[in-house]
Amino acid sequence: MTEPTFYQPQSNEIALFEGACQHQLPVLIKGPTGCGKTRFVRHMAERLNRPLYTVACHDDLTAADLVGRHLIGPEGTYWQDGPLTRAVREGGICYLDEVVEARKDTTVVLHPLADDRRELALERTGECLQAAPGFMLVVSYNPGYQSLIKGMKPSTRQRFVSLRFDYPEAAVETTIVQRESGCDPDLAQLLVRLANALRNLKDHDLEEAASTRLLIYTAQLIGAGLPTLDACRAALAEPLSDDDATVAALMDVARAVFGGQS
């Protein structure tokens, strides 16, 4: 039996999600990279016992990728549902990760599903599907990446109940790192201290902050026997910047936190 997805609540996000589900409301999750948005959705799908269809959005994502398309098989042409359509039919959760990366003409298909109509029109088959009672539309994005070109239109954003995520407070993040990596509490605490020090540099030298995900990777490398500072370089400093001087500065912070240990 598969072990349930671990998720450490930060606030009242579980109750809010369950309330939205109960009233068939779509949910928008905003937060920085690696703060637990996807893990939260996976945890809630298991908690609510709903099938989950996850789509990683990108520039080349088309409406057909979401809805479905006709394919050619040995017996001729047949229709294959996309992940959004399967979720609508089955009463599952369709999760669009980094939805602002998708093309605007793609996200238009979401509008009838994100209001009281809860409908999905399949133009190529002539169907108009009414979402099954359990269907839930969930989208996420990182507000730090928003621009005039890649932002969510207000007319789309106002169709959703919104949850704002951030990196957990130190005690919660320490628990998460320890639980997910299997490291000892002292190491988890030091890594969280390092992350918070690096996050203070975000607005000055870094495009992205050190994520909880990267802390877990670092702890796992240390647990595999890699020297502490080597693990910090490979899983924290190098992923955060391509600039040699910036990486060196990040490693100086790591040495200060870990007391120069190798």
Dmax (CA) for the chain in angstroms is: 68
Average pLDDT, the chain: 90
Does an H or E element contain 55, and which? strand 52-56
Q: What is the mean pLDDT of residues 40-55?
A: 97
Average pLDDT over residues 38-47: 96
- pLDDT at res. 152: 75
Average confidence (pLDDT) over 12-24: 96
Q: Sign of torsion, CA 205 209 213 218?
A: positive
Separation of CA 106 from chain center: 19
Tell me how far apart the alpha carbons of residues 235 and 224 are, in angstroms, rounded to a whole number: 13
Q: What percent of the chain has pLDDT over 70?
A: 94
Residue 120 to residue 116: CA distance in whole angstroms: 12
Spatial CA neighbour of 57 closest among 160, 132, 152: 152
Assign 148 a pLDDT band (cuts: 50, 70, 90).
very low
CA gap 11, 17 in Å, rounded: 12
* pLDDT tier for residue 153 given thresholds of 50, 70 and 90: confident
pLDDT at residue 157, as a whole number: 85
